Amino acid sequence: MSQNQQKPPSIFTMMKTFTNELGKWIKEGAPNVSPEDYAERLDVCSTCEHLLKASMRCGACGCLLQHKAKWKTTDCPKEKWKKQDMSDVNEQGK
């Protein structure tokens, strides 16, 4: 199956995943990655076999990448993104 034919997770699964990620991001003080890391994440997604180009969603988790890639508390479900230093996030979220 080609990347553009990949079936995304159901709306229910997508909403559940996105809500969980949003809750985690807010709880930790809404920290974002640097602009450089954001661009790097989107670069990785642009060549990923899971990318759903028409909607710019991740076919593995269903999240909208323009949001998910900005949030420091989120990670790629296939571990393709660079790991973030979370020490400052954990301090803010206390």
Residues that bind ligand SF4 (CB under 6 A): 44-45, 48, 50-51, 58, 60, 76-78, 80
Comparing CB distances to ligand SF4, the nearer of 46 and 90 is 46
- Return the number of the residue (27 or 82) whose C-beta is nearest ligand SF4: 82
Which residues have C-beta within 8 Å of that of residue 84, sequence separation ≥ 6? 33, 37, 72
- Shortest Cβ 19–ligand SF4 spacing (Å): 17
CB 67 within 8 A of CB 30: no
The least CB distance from residue 94 to ligand SF4, in Å, is 28
Choice between 56 and 94, CB closer to ligand SF4: 56
Residue 25: CB atoms within 10 Å: 21
| Residue 86 vs 91, nearer CB to ligand SF4 | 86
- Bridge partner list, 52: 57
Q: 23 is written with which tokens?
A: 């809750």
- Cβ at position 88, least distance to ligand SF4 in Å: 22
User: In the block, which residue shows the tokens 């553009």?
Assistant: 4
